[in-house]
Amino acid sequence: MINVAVVGVAGRMGRMLVEALACDKYTSLVAAIAPPESALLGVDAGELVGAGTMGVAITDSLEKCIDKVDAVIDFTVPDYTLENAALCAKYKKKLVIGTTGLTEAQIEGVQKAAQETGIVFAPNMSIGVNLVFKLLEMAAKTLEGDADVEIIEAHHKNKVDAPSGTALKMGRVVAEATGKKLEDCAVYAREGYTGPRKQGTIGFATVRAGDVIGDHTSLFACAGERIEVTHKASDRIIYARGAIRAVRFLQDKQSGLFDMQDVLGLS
C-alpha cells in the first residue's frame, strides 16, 4: 500500500480525492490537511465524504505527519502548493500537483523541488483530457498551420484563474506541434475594432457560469471544413482517479518532473 496525504481536503477536489482513495486498493489515506481556520479540523476524513470512519483526523499541518507519508496530492492554490513542493523535496516524498494558475517563478520552484523528488505536475489529471492533448498534437501537425485555432473553455463561477490550465495546455500543445511558442501567438481577448484575424494565432475564449465542472473545445477552422475536439467533464472523480494513477507511477521515480502524458505512456 502507498501511504498518501491529501492537502486541501476542505475543497471540492480534496473531498473527491478522499472519496477515491477510500475505494482504491493500491493506496491508503494516512493524512488529510485543511487550513488552520477550518471548522473541519479533528473530523475524520472518511466521515467528511460519507465513507465511514477511516481513522484519519483532519489536521492543519502536512509537516507534522510527513514521516508516515509516501506521497502527497495537492489541488490547492499556488503559494501553498509551492510550500508543499519544498517540503516534499526536503523529506524526499513524492508529490502530485493538480493546482493551476502558477506563475513562471512558481513553476521554477516546482522544477527545483523535482531535482530532489519525483513530481507529477499537470493542469488536468483526467485520462480523457490527456488523450485529447495527443489528438491535438496529431491534428496540428497534420493541418500544418492551415487552420485557424480557437480554444473555448467553460468552468463554474467560482474558478479564479482564466484561461484554465487545461486550455493553456491545449494551446501550448498546438503551438509546439507547429514549431511555435504559445506566448508568441496567443490571443486572450478581443474587443472593439480588432481587424482581420492574424494568421497563425491561437485564440482563447473563457466562460464562467453556474456549476460547470469543465468543458474544453479546440476548434480547427479550415477553408470549407471545421474540426472540433471536445472534452466535457461530468464528475470530478475523473481528476481524482488520474491523480491516484500518478501516485502509483511515481513510486519508482527518485526524482524528476513528469506530467500525465508520462503517466499514461503518451509522451
Query: How do residues 121-130 score in pLDDT, each as one tens digit?
Result: 998 899 999 9
pLDDT of residue 100: 87
Domain 2-121+236-263: CATH superfamily, name plus number: NAD(P)-binding Rossmann-like Domain (3.40.50.720)
Fold of 127-233: Dihydrodipicolinate Reductase; domain 2 (3.30.360)
Give catalytic residue positions.
Answer: 155, 159
pLDDT of residue 249: 97
Ranges of beta strands (E only) in 8-161 are 27-33, 58-59, 71-74, 94-97, 118-121, 148-155
Cα separation, 205 vs 193, in Å, equals 17
Helices 237-250 + 127-143 axis angle, to 10: 90
Rg for the chain, CA atoms, rounded: 19
Q: Which three cell numbers stand for residue 68?
A: 508516515
pLDDT of residue 267: 79
pLDDT of residue 38: 92
In the chain, where the domains are located = 2-121+236-263, 127-233
- Whether the CB-CB separation of 4 and 28 falls below 8 Å is answered with yes
Q: How far is CA 161 from the centre of its chain?
A: 13
Q: Which three cell numbers stand for residue 59?
A: 489536521
- Phi/psi region, residue 265 (left: phi>0; alpha: psi -120 to 50; beta: rest), is left
- Whether the CB-CB separation of 145 and 200 falls below 8 Å is answered with yes
User: Which parts of the chain sit beneath pLDDT 50?
Assistant: none
Q: How far is CA 146 from the centre of its chain?
A: 30
The sheet carrying 2-7 orders its strands as: 58-59, 27-33, 2-7, 71-74, 94-97, 118-121, 256-258
pLDDT of residue 241: 94
Strand, helix or coil for residue 28: strand
